[in-house]
Chains A and B, each alone.
Chain A
Amino acid sequence: MRTRHQSKKTWTPAVGMIDISNHRFSFSLANEKFGLRIFLAVITSLFLLLMISYQIRMKLSDWDSLPFPGLLWINTAVLILSCIGFQWAKIAANQNNITRVKITLLGGGLFTWLFLFGQMLVWKQLNNMGFYLQTNPANSFFYLMTALHGLHLLGGLIVWCKTSIQLFRDKKIGDLSLSIELLTIYWHFLLAVWLVMFTMMQLK
């Protein structure tokens, strides 16, 4: 109430009643965590628009859905494993258990590389089966969406590399627990994006 008076007319009697603590509308978040959330909103907008375009394009007559190689299910499992790794690393970082952080963080990252490798294998399989990018809009969307998703993971892996190098060099967790937490949030988010896209692409 007091700040409300201030924003109206400062010459009203409320002039002396000042709230300088400024906690309204402020979040008790680290800047990086807040910034990451905004970034996730941007990525959500990106993939949402892509998926809406997919739905619209799908309704046109020349749409011909892709066969989904079984490898995609394995890739999905691998991505889930990488997320488990990151989640585990986050918990271990909170407990200050550096050995476990090292193992789980490394595991999370390696499973992600494996996921990306698997996605490229899927591309190769589809190519071998004759489902080229330009053959059908369903194919084009598949390649585009998996590529964009993979690029986002690749961006995350750069931060993962930086964090891992620091962890192995400094041999202490300290400030890195924030980085690990941010990585975990980012990975969970990209897993969610993948699951939604993957489900959508199963629609005929």
Chain B
Amino acid sequence: MAHVPYQEALPLHEPKSFWTRYVWSQDHKVIAIQYTLTAVAVGLVALVMSWLMRLQIGFPGSFSFIDPSTYYQLVTMHGMIMVIYLLTAIFLGGFGNFLIPLMVGARDMVFPFVNMLSYWAYLLSVLVLMASFFVPGGPTGAGWTLYPPQAILPGTPGSDSGIVLMLVSLILFIVAATMGGLNYVTTVIQARTYGMTMMRLPLSVWGIFMATILALLAFPALFVGGVMMLFDRLLGSSFFMPAVVSMGKMLDYQGGSPVLFQHIFWFFGHPEVYIVALPAFGIVSDIISTHARKNIFGYRIMVWAIVSIGVLSFIVWAHHMYVSGMNPYFGFFFAITTLIIAVPTAIKVYNWVLTLWQGNIHMTVPMLFAVAFVSTFTIGGITGLFLGNVVIDLPLSDTYFVVAHFHMVMGVSPILVVFGGIYHWFPKITGRMLNDTLGQIHFWLTFLGTYAIYFPMHYLGFIGMPRRYYAYEGYQFIPESAQDLNVFITISALMVGAAQFIFLYNLAWSAFKGKPAGSNPWNATTLEWQTPDTPPSHGNWGDRLPIVYRWAYDYSVPGAEKDFIPQNQPPAGENPGGAATT
């Protein structure tokens, strides 16, 4: 069936007023910006929290308002905000919304109204989460994994209302992510333009597409866990709650299984790592190929690596639970699957390096961030192999080694890609370039600074410094010199955090005063750079949808006039817009 003409004939919702154009907008580009700005705003809150945590660890007791309860609340909210409300939202809601229709050659998402609802549900979830700072008892301090029974027991900070608001907020977020996800998957499958076969999709779209499928199938686990815990907390059921004596009092709970929650949580939690990582993989591939002026090495295997990582990510979850106790054969199984998932991941790293090999590398700011990602991701990935093995995980569990590992692999690495992606696509979003000098300063401070923060943590972990402690004074097994490292890490964290304000300033300044970018400043091949207007107008493509004749990576083609051939450029002997003549 000629499917594209059907898509092309569908009516487009024209915004009629300021409100429907910029606020209640159904345009994917506006929604992408709304998602991104909200995610950045809430991310800043989490950034300030990480400062406060580090200040407490580096200079214990300097701030009277940070008591142990506050510290746990900071840890919990920092983790949850960064993983869910910043990274997941910005990759799927921000990059996904902006890039998918433009890169597949569609006029918009296929369900624009649902797309709009998705953003507003997300905003509501953020507001509910933020509200928990203002309720009696404050936000929950249960740790971002919200393990029962302690998550809902008195004694844990925020067990009155904080935990309830957290769970409600998560449920709202899942509703938002599902509405968005339905759009992304349907748009990629249904609304690709003429000639845009699946194997001509840019890898950014592949990454976001697969991550969305993971989100759609994994978030229900968090939903189920969240609802069951809400029942336990509000209605007195015992899904996860065993018989507990709390504060000298026997509670009514009995017989529930906390480990059941852990299984449910990590069945969501591990795919979540890849919900954040797969879009990053895709975006990095596109940035590296464009700025190295070379086709991506091994496109097909890159696609299959994304797909197989996505599938495998559903059968590794219990490697987060080795210390919770399980049948040794289970541990063996999950260790094996964890090591297997490293294979497609390593293939991707090799292919990025091989794409750079003998490329005409332009060390632009987006490229710097992309290359930095390959470095941090490799470090974080290798420590993952350590922790994936049961025997090594047991002694390292709950130490700073784990903190270093997951921050490198799913904190620093994806956020570097977020930055790289913003520097790369900002010219298309606003029509102006970001300031290069500020970008360089931002990059070097962030890149070197994050190494300064997380590299020493590996050593702290090896000497046994436990994570989640409020203060480290008076423990025999921690040498005093560890505190010097902690001070160093704290100062680095303050600097890296401050560097982000340079970035924000750059965003705000360049959006209005930046150098005009033109329609395709990086000489890129993918469709979003070939729009008739920059920034793309509503409907993206003017009268006719673009026709795609080639894959997304025709850089430095021998014999070609220029060093890039856009996807919609017809080959010689072909009439633009006409049927193939050969």
By a beta-carbon cutoff of 8 Å, the part of chain A in contact with chain B is 3-4, 6-11, 15-29, 31-32, 34-35, 38-39, 41-43, 45-46, 49-50, 53, 56-57, 60-63, 133-134, 137, 139-141, 144, 148
Contact = CB atoms under 8 A, between A and B. Distances in A.
Interface residues of B, number: 73
Interface stretch (B15-23, B31-39, B223-231, B456-464): B223-231
Contacts of B185: 38
Interface string B489-503: 000000000000000
Given A20-B580, A50-B224, 11 more contacts: A11-B559, A16-B571, A18-B571, A19-B580, A22-B4, A22-B197, A29-B190, A42-B220, A49-B267, A62-B255, A133-B235
B252 A134 contact: yes
A137 B221 CA distance: 19
A26 B195 contact: no
Contacts of B91: none
Contact of B228 (A3, A53, A61, A62): A53
B217 A137 contact: no
B264 A49 contact: yes
Interface stretch (B41-49, B339-347, B395-403, B547-555): B547-555
Given A45-B220, A57-B260, A140-B238, A62 B254 contact: yes
Given A11-B559, A18-B580, A144 B1 contact: no
**B227, B237, B260, B550, most chain A CB atoms within 10 A:** B237
Interface string B563-575: 0010000111110
Interface in B180-219: 181-183, 185-186, 189-200, 216-219
A6 B181 CA distance: 29
A19 B195 contact: yes
Contacts of A10: 550-551, 554, 557, 565
Contacts of A21: 2, 194-195
B239 interface: yes
5 contacts: A19-B197, A22-B3, A39-B182, A45-B217, A49-B221
A17 B570 CA distance: 11
B325 interface: no
A198 B59 CA distance: 58
Nearest to A51: B224
Contacts of B198: 24-25
A7 B551 contact: yes
A51 to B, nearest CB: 10
A84 to B, nearest CB: 28
Contacts of A148: 227
A133 B264 contact: no
A39 B548 CA distance: 30
Contacts of A11: 557-560
A25 B189 CA distance: 7
Given A4-B199, A144-B228, A31 B550 contact: no
Contacts of B255: 60-63, 137
B220 A53 contact: no
Contacts of B264: 49, 53
Nearest to A37: B186
Contact of A140 (B190, B237, B257): B237
A13 B559 CA distance: 13
A146 to B, nearest CB: 13
A28 B223 contact: no
A24 B197 contact: yes
Contacts of B196: 22
A56 B228 CA distance: 14
A35 B257 contact: no
Contacts of B189: 25-27, 34
Contact of A23 (B1, B217, B237, B550): B1
B190 A25 contact: no
A78 to B, nearest CB: 26
Given A23-B3, A38-B182, A38-B216, A137 B238 contact: yes
Interface of B: 1-4, 7, 10, 110-111, 178, 181-183, 185-186, 189-200, 216-221, 223-224, 227-228, 231, 235-239, 252, 254-257, 260, 263-264, 267, 295, 299-300, 547-551, 554, 557-560, 565, 570-574, 579-580, 582
A49 B193 CA distance: 37
Contacts, number: 176
Contacts of B4: 22
A56 B186 contact: no
**B185, B220, B239, most chain A CB atoms within 10 A:** B220
B235 A7 contact: no
A35 B267 CA distance: 24
**A3, A31, A41, most chain B CB atoms within 10 A:** A31
Contacts of A38: 181-182, 185-186, 216
**B200, B238, B582, most chain A CB atoms within 10 A:** B238
Nearest to A24: B197
B110 A7 contact: no
Contacts of B257: 56-57, 60
A4 to B, nearest CB: 7
Contact of B199 (A3, A27, A144): A3
Contacts of A6: 197, 200, 549-551
A35 B476 CA distance: 59
Nearest to A4: B199
Nearest to A39: B182
Contacts of A63: 255
Given A15-B571, A26-B192, A35 B238 contact: no
A81 to B, nearest CB: 29
Contacts of A27: 3, 189-190
A61 B238 CA distance: 13
Contacts of B235: 133-134, 140
Given A41-B217, A56-B257, A31 B110 contact: yes
A49 B224 contact: yes
B500 to A, nearest CB: 35
B354 to A, nearest CB: 15
Contacts of B228: 53, 144
A23 B198 CA distance: 10
A35 B1 contact: no
A20 B194 CA distance: 5
A23 B189 CA distance: 11
A65 to B, nearest CB: 14
Contacts of A26: 1, 3, 189-190, 192
A35 B191 CA distance: 12
Nearest to B188: A25
A32 B110 CA distance: 9
B282 to A, nearest CB: 16
Closest 8 CB pairs of A and B: A62-B255, A140-B237, A28-B1, A134-B236, A46-B220, A20-B195, A16-B582, A45-B220
Nearest to B554: A10
A75 B111 CA distance: 35
Given A22-B193, A31-B110, A46 B558 contact: no
A28 B554 CA distance: 30
Nearest to B253: A134
A23 B238 contact: no
